[in-house]
Structure 1
């Protein structure tokens, strides 16, 4: 079951905007993070939940999606996420942002797996300006955005493929806008 959730948990960049996500659904995703490991059990994160259309509309233009596809504008107009979770580090708990980078990945992956279980999907977005997000959301000085998680009901086709002869792991889209994600074979990653 976990392996199937992992296969379904893709970096979605197209969403059905008619499927709104509720605050309760976002709270449930964040609640899952409380059970994850944390370096020295510090648990330094706080979560800003955005599901109101006006707040989502403040965050979306501050994000940059699919850096490997610079010729495309993603998400396509009319296919934006309907919610965001802004993972913030509370620097009052610990000011060392780099120390907890692995923890950020753990909590984000946990939320995304829980989203997939609910028939939702998302994308971790690290390509944004933390100061702009902080200002747009009027976050307190001691809260630093460390990762954005876009969420919604996926509205695109993503296909996992094996890395080809050329060794490229670059994702790409075909003429039908199908998104392909090359993955290395198991025997190629074992030492």
Structure 2
């Protein structure tokens, strides 16, 4: 079952905006994420939940998607995510931002797997300015945005393919189908 969730958990860049995501649904994602391991169990991460059109309108223009597909603008107009979770680190708990990078990845992946289980999907967005996001959301100085996670009902097709000629770049075809090359298992094992 976990393999099915992993295979369905893609970096979606197109969403059905008519399917709103509730605050309760976002709370369920964070509730699972808070149970994950944390470096020295410090648990310095905090979560800004955005699910109203007013909140998401502040965040969307501050994010930059699919740099490898430039000049294509993603998400396409009318296909933006209806919700975001901003993973922040509380520097009052620990000021070392680098130390908890693993924690950020663990909680983000956990939230995305839970989203898939609920018929949703998402995308981890690392291309943003933490200072701009903090200012737009009026975050306290001790809350540093570490990762933006888009959440919504996927409205695009993503197909996994095999890496050829060591080219791992994702791409889209003329029908806007998104292809993601993955390395073969035998190419990853050392021995």
Mark yes or no: TM-score above 0.5: yes
What residue is the counterpart of 1:134 in the other structure? 134
**2:97 aligned residue:** 97
**Post-superposition offset of 1:34:** 1.6
- What is the aligned partner in structure 2 of residue 121 from structure 1? 121
Tell me the distance in 2 between the aligned counterparts of 1:90 and 1:144.
7
Looking at structure 2, the residues matched to 188 and 181 of structure 1 have their Cα atoms a distance apart, in angstroms, of 17
Distance, in Å, in 2 between the alignment partners of 1:150 and 1:89 is 18
Deviation string for 1:51-76 (max 9, x for gaps)?
A: 01001000000000001111200000
Tell me, which stretches of 5 or more residues in structure 1 are unaligned? none
Q: Which residue of 1 aligns with 2:47?
A: 47
Residue in 1 that maps onto 2:106: 106
Alignment correspondent of 1:152:
152
Instruction: Report the Cα distance in structure 2 between the residues aligned to 1:140 and 1:130, rounded to whole angstroms.
Output: 12
Counterpart CA distance in 1 for 2:90 and 2:166 is 40
Equivalent residue number for residue 32 of structure 1: 32
* Per-residue deviation, 1:152: 0.5
Gaps of 5+ in 2: none
C-alpha deviations, 1:59-117, integer Å up to 9, x for none? 00000000111120000000000000000000000000000001100000000000000
Count of matched residue positions in the alignment of Structure 1 and Structure 2: 190
Q: What residue in structure 1 maps to residue 11 of structure 2?
A: 11
> Any runs of at least 4 consecutive aligned residues in structure 1 with deviations exceeding 6 A, and if so which?
none
How far apart, in 2, do the equivalents of 1:80 and 1:10 lie?
A: 16
**Which residue of structure 2 lines up, in the alignment, with residue 188 of structure 1?**
187
**Cross-structure match for 1:72:** 72
Per the normalisation by structure 1, the TM-score is 0.99
CA distance in 2, matches of 1:70, 1:159: 19
Q: CA-atom RMSD, angstroms? A: 0.4
Deviations 1:12-31 (A, max 9, x none): 00000000000000000000
